[in-house]
Amino acid sequence: MKLIKHLKTVLIHKWYVFIYMCRCGYVYRGIIHDMSKFSWTEFFESVKYYNGTVSPIDMCKKDKGYSLAWLHHRGRNKHHYEYWVDYLDQGGKPIEMPRKYAIELICDWIAAGKTYSHNVGKKFTYTDELEYVKWKLKSANMHPNTKSYVLGCFTHFAELNKFDSYYVLNTIIK
């Protein structure tokens, strides 16, 4: 049963990402988003730690102190800011994310918020999502320009209480 519930969660998440990526004109990126979640390494660890309310990766990290699924996932998916960190032996140097991957990151975070809000019976709001993003960015080893762009987009969404693809596509990344 956990296998079916996890698969359903992944597919709902991918659907949301696909919708938002299409609205931004990145149909192909929306289709291939998170395909590595179906790999042996990611899928079966995630099924094992699935509970429906918290990321299985977070549950695995809590249990084991690390997640092989996460290491596999972030190393293959360019929409994760962690993919864009080099010089790990020296504490990590963040590299600015190309726009299409920063957009996919934004769509991914919204989709995750919607998916997990739905799973726990809570109504998704862009204001709540902005608070999560602010919390996440405090410790994120993300390039300052990417961080500013992501925060600006989520702040704008919270002000409008909706996703705005025009703003996402036309905001200058400084």
Q: What is the pLDDT of residue 119?
A: 64
Model confidence over 16-57: pLDDT tens digits?
999 999 999 999 999 999 999 999 999 999 999 999 888 999
Sequence-separated (6 or more) residues with CB below 8 Å from residue 47? 2, 3, 6, 56
Q: What is the pTM of this model?
A: 0.95
Q: Tokens 């109504």 sit at which residue?
A: 123
Domain ranges of the chain: 2-34+77-170
Backbone phi, then psi, for 104, in 5-degree steps?
-65, -35
> Half-sphere exposure of 53 toward its Cβ, with a 13 Å CA cutoff?
3
Model confidence over 60-88: pLDDT tens digits?
999 999 999 999 999 999 999 999 999 99
CA distances from 8 to 29, 33, 42, 119 (A): 20, 15, 15, 11
Give me 113's structure tokens.
């918020």
Model confidence over 129-165: pLDDT tens digits?
999 999 999 999 999 999 999 999 999 999 999 999 9
Residue 173 scores a pLDDT above 80:
no
Please list the alpha-helical segments (H only) found in the chain: 2-23, 27-32, 40-48, 56-64, 68-74, 99-119, 126-139, 144-160, 165-170
Helix, strand, or coil (residue 57): helix
